[in-house]
Amino acid sequence: YQVPNWSGGWFRVSDKGQVEVTPTPGLHAPLRAIVDEIVDRGESLPVILRFPQVITGRVKHLNESFQAAIQEYGYTGHYQGVFPIKVNQRRMVVESVAAAGYDYAHGLEAGSKAELALCLAQKMHPDALLCCNGFKDDGFIKLALWGRTLGKNVVITIEKYSELDRILKQAKALGVRPAMGVRFKLHARGSGQWEESGGDQAKFGLNAYELLRVVERLREEDMLDTLVMLHTHIGSQITDIRRVKVAVREATQTYAGLIAAGAQLKYLNVGGGLGVDYDGSKTTFYASMNYTVREYAADIVYTVQEVCKARNVPEPVIVSESGRALTAHHAVLILPVVDVTGPTRDLEDLAPADENSHQIVKDMEDILANITARNYRESYNDAVGDKQTLHNLFDLGYVTLPDRARGEALFNAILRKIARLIQNEKYVPDELEDLQKVLADKFICNFSLFQSLPDNWAIQALFPIVPLDRLNEKPTRQATIVDITCDSDGKIEKFIDLRDVKATLPLHEPGDRPYYLGVFLMGAYQDVLGSAHNLFGKVSEAHVTVRPGGKYHIDLFVRGQKARRMIESMGYEEPMLRDAIEDQADAAIKLGTLTGEQEQEMLDDYGEELLGYTYLEYEN
Ligand code: PLP
C-alpha cells in the first residue's frame, strides 16, 4: 500500500498492522479505534475523519519551508501564503488554516462573492492578504472594498482589462482606496492534468500589452501605488519542478518589467500548483510530483532572487496560493465493505458434470484438469471459444441452465488457474493482460463515488486506499471497488503503484468483523465538487484530535445529510410528500391492501427514512 511513500509522515502502519494518524512526532492514534468508537456510539458509516492537527502541520511546514529558504539565501523579502478556499470551504478547514496561519500572516483567497463573504468574517492577521480572484461584478468589487475599510489587507486581482475601470469607479463612489493585483498570462505552462491553466489560451489574465496599459491608466489617475501585486498561476498539481522554475523566472522578469514601467509592486504571487504525491512515486506522473515542499520553496526563493539581482529591483514579498498541498492530507474517507461479489467461486457448490451434461461442459472440465505452464495460452484460447459456443448453444435451447452455470464457473476456474501460473512471469501475452482485472472480486462499499471522490470519476485522480487494519496479514484477494449508486461508473479500478497504475487492489477476505478501507489524501477539492447522484448526500464527519499516549478525542461529530434534505433540494417539500403518502394509504385501506393498524407503522417507517441517512444503514 506504499504508506511511507505517500503519507509524508502524517500516517504510518503500526507494529500491530493498523494504520495510525501521526500529526506530530510522538502523537499517534489508530484509525480503526476511532471508527469503532463512532459505530459504538450508534452512528452510521460512511464517515470522513478530519484531523485539524494535520492541517496545522501542513501550514507550518509550508511556511517554515519558505522561511528556511529565505534565511538560507539571505532573501530580503518574506513569504506570505494565501489559502484558496475553493479547495475546501468547510468551516473546520478554513478556521484551521486561518488559526494555524495567523502568526505567519497566512491569508485567504476568495474566487466568488460567497467565498469573499465567508473570508471577510474570518479573524486574520492585519498583514494577511485576502486576495479576490475570479470574474467580478460590481457587488463583488464593493464587498472587497468594504473589506479594506474593515482593516483587512484585501487585494482585488484584475483578471481582465475591463475590470480595472469598474474597480476604479466603485472605489471612487465608496471613497475607498483600493489595492489591486493583476493576473498575467505567462507563456510558461504547468505540467500534469492542469497544464492548460496557463499559456496564451488561459481563461484568466492579461497579456503583456494589457499589463502596460494598466500601469499607464493608473499613472493617469495618480494611483500607481494601488497596484501592489503581480499574480500568476500555471495550474494545479504541477508534477515537474522544472516547470515551476521556468514559470517563476518569467513571472519575476514580468515583475521587474512592471517596476521598470513605474509600478510600485510589493507582492509577487506565484499562484497554486504545489503538488501532492498521491502515489508516492516521486515522479512526474500526473498523480505524483518530483519535488518536496522544501525544494519547491527553495527553488522559488532562489529564482526570484536571482532575477531581482540581475534586474536590480527590490525583492518582493513572495505569495503562493497553495491549496491542495495544505488540505489533502487532513481527511480520510472510511468505506465499510458491505459485500463481495466476483467471478463465481462456487464451482464446488455445483454438481459435477455427469453423463447427462452437455459435451461442451465436459470439454471445459478437461481443459481445467490439463492446464500446465506450457499450454496455458492454448487452454485459454480453447476456453474462450468453448464459452462462446456454450452461450450460442444456450440461446438455441441445446444447453440447460444448470449446464450453463457449470460451464461459466469452469471458465472462471480456468482463468484463475492461468492467473496463478503466470503471476510471476515477466512476459504476459497481450490477450491475458487484463486477466487480474477480469478475475478481480468486487468489494461493494457503502459510499457514492460521485459524492465523495468525484475526481476519481471525472479525471481519473488516484487516491491511496488502504485497509485500516490487518496489515500484518497477507491479503488473499485482488479487488476492485464498487459503490452503491445505480451507476456502473461508480467504481474504482485504478490503484496507486510505484511504477504504473494497478487494475486491482490486494485486500483481505472479510471475516466476521467489519472490514474498513480508508481513502487517503482526499481533503482537497473532493468535499466541494461532490454531487448528489442518486440523492446520496454529504457523508457524516468526525473531527478528531490526537492526544499523547496513543489517545484521541472526537471533538465534533456532524451527521451526514438526511434523505429529506436531498429530496427538498430537488424542489419537493416534506409536508407535500407526507400528504401524498397519507392519501394513498387512505385509498389503500379502502381497497383492502393495507389495514388500519399497518397504516401507522407504514407512515412511521416512511417518516423515519425521510429523517435517515442516505447511505445503507445496518444494525450494529
Ligand atoms: N490559485 C488559483 C488562481 C487557482 O486557479 C488554483 C487552482 O487551480 C489555486 C490557486 C490552487 O491551486 P492548488 O490547489 O494546486 O494549490
For residues 352 and 308, membership in a common domain is answered with: no
pLDDT tier at 196, thresholds 50, 70, 90: low
Q: What is the pLDDT of residue 346?
A: 63
Q: Is the CB of 133 inside a 6 Å radius of any atom of ligand 1?
A: yes
**In a 10 Å sphere around its CB, with 0-12 CB exposed, 13-18 middle and 19+ buried, how is residue 348 labelled?**
exposed
Q: 274-278, 344-348, 407-411, 584-588 — which is least confidently predicted? A: 344-348
Residue 157 maps to a domain: yes
**CB of residue 324 inside a 6 A radius of ligand 1:** yes
CA 147 vs CA 66, 126, 143, 267, 588: distances in Å:
28, 12, 6, 19, 60
C-alpha cell, 134: 475570479
The last residue of one of the domains, among 436, 465, 487, is 436
Residue type present at position 255: Y
Structural domain of 596: 563-610
Euclidean distance between the first and the last CA atom of the chain, given in angstroms as a whole number: 29
Q: What is the whole-number distance in angstroms between the Cα of residue 194 and the centre of ligand 1?
A: 10
Residue 571 known to bind ligand: no
Same domain assignment for residues 272 and 373: no
pLDDT over 60 (residue 60): yes
Task: Establish whether residue 178 lines the binding site of ligand 1, counting it when its CB lies within 6 angstroms of any ligand atom.
Answer: no
The CATH number of the domain holding residue 220 is 3.20.20.10
Q: How confident is the model at residue 520 (pLDDT cuts 50, 70, 90)?
A: very high
Residues 189 and 308 in one domain: yes
Closest CA to 119 of 128, 129, 111, 110: 110
User: Whose alpha carbon is nearest atom 10 of ligand 1?
Assistant: 272
What's the pLDDT at 387?
96
**Which of 267, 287, 322 corresponds to the end of one domain?**
322
Shortest-distance Cα residue to atom 6 of ligand 1: 272
Report pLDDT digits (tens) over 257-282.
999 999 999 999 999 999 999 999 99
pLDDT of residue 344: 58
Pocket test for ligand 1, best of 236, 276, 277 (most atoms within 8 A of CB): 236
Residue 355's pLDDT is what? 84
- Residue to mutate, 87, 119, 186, 289, ligand 1, most ligand atoms under 8 Å from C-beta: 87
More confident residue, 166 or 353: 166
pLDDT at 427 over 90: no
pLDDT at 505: 95
**pLDDT given at position 200:** 66
| Segment 424-449 mean pLDDT | 86
DSSP structure string for 48-104: EEE-HHHHHHHHHHHHHHHHHHHHHHT-SS-B--EEEGGG---HHHHHHHHHHHGGG
Quick one: 222 exposed, middle or buried, by C-beta within 10 A (0-12, 13-18, 19+)?
A: exposed
- The span from the CA of 492 to the CA of 488, in Å, is 10
Domain boundary among 383, 412, 436: 436
**Atom 7 of ligand 1: nearest residue by CA position:** 236
Find, among 514, 499, 535, 544, the residue nearest to 615 by Cα.
Answer: 535
- Atom nearest to 321 CA in ligand 1: 10
Same domain, 118 and 263: yes
309 and 183, same structural domain? yes
- Residue 272 C-alpha to ligand 1 middle, in angstroms? 4
Residue 192 maps to a domain = yes
At 139-158, the pLDDT tens digits run 999 999 999 999 999 999 99
Per-residue model confidence (pLDDT) at position 366: 95
Whether 146 and 288 share a structural domain: yes
332 labelled binding-site residue: no
pTM over 0.90: yes
Average pLDDT, the chain: 94
Ranking 360-374, 418-432, 504-518, 582-596 by mean pLDDT, the lowest is 418-432
Pocket probe mutation, ligand 1, options 182, 234, 293, 321, max atoms within 8 Å of Cβ: 321
Is 399 inside a domain boundary? yes
Q: Is 233 in the pocket of ligand 1 (CB under 6 A)?
A: yes
In a domain, 111, yes or no: yes
User: Same structural domain for residues 160 and 272?
Assistant: yes
Q: Is residue 198 pLDDT above 70, yes or no?
A: no
Q: Once rounded to an integer, what is the mean pLDDT over residues 418-440?
A: 83
- Could you tell me if residue 335 is inside a domain? no
In a domain, 535, yes or no: no
Q: How far is the centre of ligand 1, averaged over its atoms, from the C-alpha of 84 (Å)?
A: 7
C-alpha 233 to ligand 1 mean position (Å): 7
Residue 301 among known ligand-binding residues: no
Helices and strands in the chain, H and E counts? 21, 21
Q: Is 236 in the pocket of ligand 1 (CB under 6 A)?
A: yes
* 507 in any annotated domain: no
**Does some domain include residue 183?**
yes
Say whether both 281 and 386 belong to one domain.
no
Between the CA of 237 and the centroid of ligand 1 the distance, in Å, is 9
Would you say residue 188 has pLDDT above 90?
no
274 lines ligand 1 (CB under 6 A): yes
Mean pLDDT of 515-520: 98
Instruction: Output phi, psi for 562, to 5 deg.
Output: -85, 160
Mean pLDDT value across residues 495-502: 90
For ligand 1, atom 8, the nearest C-alpha belongs to 236
For residue 192, the model assigns a pLDDT of 72
Interatomic CA distance for residues 13 and 8, integer angstroms: 13
**Are residues 281 and 157 located together in one domain of the fold?**
yes
pLDDT on residue 441: 92
Separation between Cα atoms, residue 93 and residue 81, nearest integer Å: 16
CATH number at residue 430: 1.20.58.930
The band of 351, judged by pLDDT with boundaries at 50, 70 and 90, is confident
User: Above 60 in pLDDT, residue 620?
Assistant: no
Q: Check whether residue 204 and residue 277 sit in a common domain.
A: yes
DSSP state of 224: G
Domain total in the chain: 3
Whose alpha carbon is nearest atom 12 of ligand 1? 272
Whether 275 is in the pocket of ligand 1, judged by its Cβ within 6 Å, is no
* Same-domain check for residues 115 and 232: yes
Return the residue whose CA atom lies nearest to atom 11 of ligand 1: 272
Give the mean model confidence (pLDDT) for residues 103-121.
97
SS3 labels along 290-334: CCCHHHHHHHHHHHHHHHHHHHCCCCCEEECCCCHHHHHHHEEEE
Q: How high is the pLDDT of residue 494?
A: 94
> How confident is the model at residue 197, as a pLDDT?
66
Q: For residue 321, report the distance from its CA to the centre of ligand 1, in Å.
A: 6
Please tell me whether 317 is known to bind a ligand.
no
Domain identity same for 145 and 262: yes
**By alpha-carbon position, which residue is closest to atom 9 of ligand 1?**
272
Place of cell 448526500: 537
